[in-house]
Amino acid sequence: MSTYDIAVVGAGIAGASLAAELAPHARVLVLEAEDRPGYHSTGRSAAFWEECYGGPEIVPLTLASGPYLRRGGFLAERGALYIGRDGDTAELDGFMDRFGPTGVTIERVDRAGLAARLPGVRPDWTGAIWEPACADIDVAGLHAHYLKAMVAHGAELVVRAQVAALSREGDLWRIETGRGEQFLARTVVNAAGAWADQLAEIAGARALGIQPLRRTVVQLRVDPAPSADLPLVLDIAGSFYFKPESGRLWLSPHDEEPSPPCDAAPEELAVAEAIDRLQHVVDWRIEAVEHKWAGLRSFAPDRCPVYGFDPEVEGFFWFAGQGGYGIQTSPAAARLARQLLLGHPRDAMTEGLDPRLYDPARFG
């Protein structure tokens, strides 16, 4: 039976990025329940890096990750518009007040500036906030980069390896999969995404209330076809967002429906709501619904991610609850988690981050 320093459970963007950080410093095992890594949330992302996404508490992680993503060629300039109607002035002002001090780049634009960036916008949409730094993320490329890096530094990836049992034997964990495979590791990392609370309970740790929420996306063919330089467009009230993708439009009703951990599927009502909301924004004609899908975004009760050792169960490390921003924050999140796990000093990427915000002990 092989013994590892660290066993990472989950090979989505969370597990892969952390394993890539850990592998140069430790013997690492990565266990993935599915046939291939990234099958669930990572493979279903709307694929954007947006400085304000997730709220002011997430901004430091996003900004710290930006240089790594740009240097790696994983970002392509897009820009984002948060749009509002006549009655949304207070929401637009509040957005500027909330995010202005965080270091993001945002500016108010009037109706003319909105119409110039969003052709066909209906007259009742009169103001917006422009975020020029927003970019598309090459999610598949980034995930592959992390997988390649972790393997290159000696990490071992085992797929179809759902964890069925965890037990302590001295200072080691005995890990048993549903297929009967067994491994030993000094530390277990919970990067199980929507299954994070379930894995914690298998380990004898207290569930933290990490809730998977379903998010629906639909791909539309519209007339006129969206231009390649159309920005990401988000409702300031949080009821939709859309962006161009290869001549088509990716649209979401920004839904957050509680779900058990599962292979999420879109519901027709969510698709219909998304289309109805789009028709109240622009005068484009919808020609076809070409594709639709759903993914699970998992949040802790305070909607901040959870990074750190469990306060009660020895050798059990949380790297979960990353919501819909786990991809755009993955470089800084993984770097910080490696430093916390191995006791390494902070560096230029993480020096501005406060790990107390993410400590699982905050839930008491």
- The tokens describing 163, both together, are 């964890």
- Using CA atoms, how far apart are residues 175 and 156, in angstroms rounded to an integer? 15
Question: Which residue stretches of 121-176 are H helix?
Answer: 139-152
Here the tokens at position 35 are: 């046939």
Residue carrying structure tokens 């997988």: 147
For residues 329 and 65, the answer to whether their CB atoms sit within 8 Å is yes
Q: Provide CB contacts within 8 A for 269, sequence distance 6+.
A: none
Q: At 13, list the tokens.
A: 């963007």
Q: What tokens appear for 285 in the block?
A: 């004609």
CA angle 319, 160, 317 (to 5 degrees): 20
Question: Quick one: DSSP state of residue 99?
Answer: H
Q: Are 188 and 30 in contact (CB under 8 A)?
A: no
For residue 30, the cross-strand partners are: 8, 157
Give the list of residues 6+ apart from residue 91 with CB closer than 8 angstroms, or none: 84, 236, 237
The distance of Cα 254 from the centroid of its chain, to the nearest Å, equals: 14
Q: Is the pLDDT of residue 320 over 70?
A: yes
When pLDDT is cut at 50, 70 and 90, the band that residue 1 belongs to is confident
Does the pTM of the predicted model rise above 0.85?
Answer: yes
Q: What is the CATH number of domain 80-132+211-299?
A: 3.30.9.10
Cβ atoms of residues 45 and 24 within 8 Å: no
Q: For residue range 288-306, list pLDDT tens digits in order.
A: 999 999 999 999 999 999 9
Q: What does the pLDDT average to over 93-114?
A: 96
**Digit-coded pLDDT (tens) for 270-285:** 999 999 999 999 999 9
Helix (H, G, I), strand (E, B) or coil at 26: coil
Q: Which residue ranges make up each domain of the chain?
A: 3-43+139-209+302-363, 80-132+211-299
Contact 342, 26 (CB under 8 A): yes
**Under 8 Å between Cβ of 285 and 125:** no
Contact 42, 224 (CB under 8 A): no
User: Whole-angstrom Cα distance, residue 10 to residue 191?
Assistant: 5
Give me the residue label for tokens 């569930």. Answer: 207
Q: What is the pLDDT of residue 46?
A: 65
Helix (H) or strand (E) holding 31: strand 28-31
Average pLDDT in the 66-88 region? 97
- Fold match between 3-43+139-209+302-363 and 80-132+211-299? no
What is the CATH T-level fold of the domain 3-43+139-209+302-363, as seen in this structure? FAD/NAD(P)-binding domain (3.50.50)
CB 212 within 8 A of CB 261: yes
Give me the percent of the chain exceeding a pLDDT of 70: 98
Report cis status (omega within 30 of 0) of the bond before 132: no
